[in-house]
Amino acid sequence: DTAVSQTPKYLVTQMGNDKSIKCEQNLGHDTMYWYKQDSKKFLKIMFSYNNKELIINETVPNRFSPKSPDKAHLNLHINSLELGDSAVYFCASSQVGQGAYEQYFGPGTRLTVT
């Protein structure tokens, strides 16, 4: 059983398009995250949602909009894609409490913008 799943695994698209990446977790966790990993392998948090509410929104362009229809899903929609958006995007989830607990990551979505 896949704990955190993402679709699609690969996404190739042209500049200016709008695309979405979906994420689902079946762990019953309260909190979900989106990370971006660039070509230098630096993993940076973008968003965090706790019980469908946004709790972290790092300095991410507003072309990126997360949407959480329920606490098991956190989708990432990207408008007007740019070359610099090319990266691997990871979804993760965790159960939070006094401090961050271990996070479970999805397999990643490799986005290539041409």
Partner 1 sequence: SQQGEEDPQALSIQEGENATMNCSYKTSINNLQWYRQNSGRGLVHLILIRSNEREKHSGRLRVTLDTSKKSSSLLITASRAADTASYFCAPAGAGSYQLTFGKGTKLSVIP
Give the residues lining the site for partner 1 (CB under 8 A): 4, 31, 40-45, 48, 50, 55-56, 90, 92, 94, 96, 98-108
Measured from the CB of residue 80, what is the shortest distance to partner 1 in angstroms? 27
Q: 26-30: long-range contacts (C-beta < 8 A, 24 or more apart)? A: 26/1, 26/2, 26/72, 27/3, 27/93, 27/95, 27/104, 28/72, 28/95, 29/71, 29/93, 29/94, 29/95, 29/104, 30/71, 30/94, 30/95, 30/96
CA–CA separation, 26 and 42 (whole Å): 27
Measured from the CB of residue 88, what is the shortest distance to partner 1 in angstroms? 8
CB-nearer residue toward partner 1: 46 or 78: 46
CB-nearer residue toward partner 1: 1 or 14: 1
CB-nearer residue toward partner 1: 14 or 59: 59
CB-nearer residue toward partner 1: 15 or 43: 43
Measured from the CB of residue 22, what is the shortest distance to partner 1 in angstroms? 15
